[in-house]
Amino acid sequence: MHRASHTALYNWTKIVGPAMIRQCLKCRVPLQLSSRAYSVVPTPRDSEEKEMLHRILRVDHAGEYGANRIYAGQMAVLGRSSTGPLIQEMWDQEKEHLAKFNEILAESRVRPTALLPFWNIAGFVLGASSALLGKEGAMACTVAVEESISEHYNSQIRALMEKDPDRYTELLLVIKEFRDDEIEHHDTGLEHDAESVPGYWLLKNAIQLGCKAAIYASQRV
């Protein structure tokens, strides 16, 4: 029986081929949500919890919206270069994040930040201006932004875990998955020479200061 199974597996790998196997291993598994009365966010018990959840969702939606505009700006400059496919791949994941938060905001009846028109322009300008510095500039921007977003997601994860991890299980799953994607984008930027752009640390710190201001404002406006 063992020998027959081994032979069948060997024949299957020859038919399918190693390339397709690697592609299957990279496939993303959709989030498995429970059969609770809500999909991701529980109905707030009181005004305090409602305010907390609305702030979390509002700023996360704004962050993903801004990230989309940054990648759009980078693609406008570098879309036809050899770096274009790499930026597009990261942008496609950000599009998935934004679509999910659009869905959650609608389900939970949470208004987005009033600053979206500003982030629309600011994000695109940041992405395009960093890309004008070349691939290294675009990757430096990616490192700075994705590091800020992943750190912010980590702070939310800690806060929700301290309050009631069972109550916020689905929301934590979403945030953790998106946090992992942001870390992957950050690491991709480092792997593609982000630190070689002139004035890297100055550029990174300036962008992250702007990210902190954006997070603060989007939570409240």
Enter the tokens of residue 113: 């930040």
Cβ-count burial of 85 within 10 angstroms (0-12 exposed, 13-18 middle, 19+ buried)?
exposed
Q: Roughly what angle, to the nearest 10 degrees, separates helices 135-163 and 116-131?
A: 140
Which H or E run includes 203?
A: helix 200-220
Measure the CA–CA gap between 159 and 176, rounded to whole angstroms.
13
Annotated ligand binding at 48? The verdict is no
Q: Is 182 annotated as a binding residue?
A: yes
Instruction: Determine whether the annotation assigns residue 185 to a binding site.
Output: yes
The reply to whether 177 sits in an annotated binding site is no
- Is 64 labeled as ligand-binding? yes
Both tokens of residue 160? 């929700």
Alpha-carbon distances, residue 134 vs 38, 69, 124, 130, 198 (angstroms): 45, 18, 16, 7, 11
Type of residue at 211: C
Known binder of ligand: residue 152? no
Listing DSSP states for 27-70 in one string gives PPPPP---SSSSSSSPPPSSHHHHHHHHHHHHHHHHHHHHHHHH
Binding residues: 64, 94, 97, 146, 182, 185
Binding residues for Fe cation: 64, 94, 97, 146, 182, 185
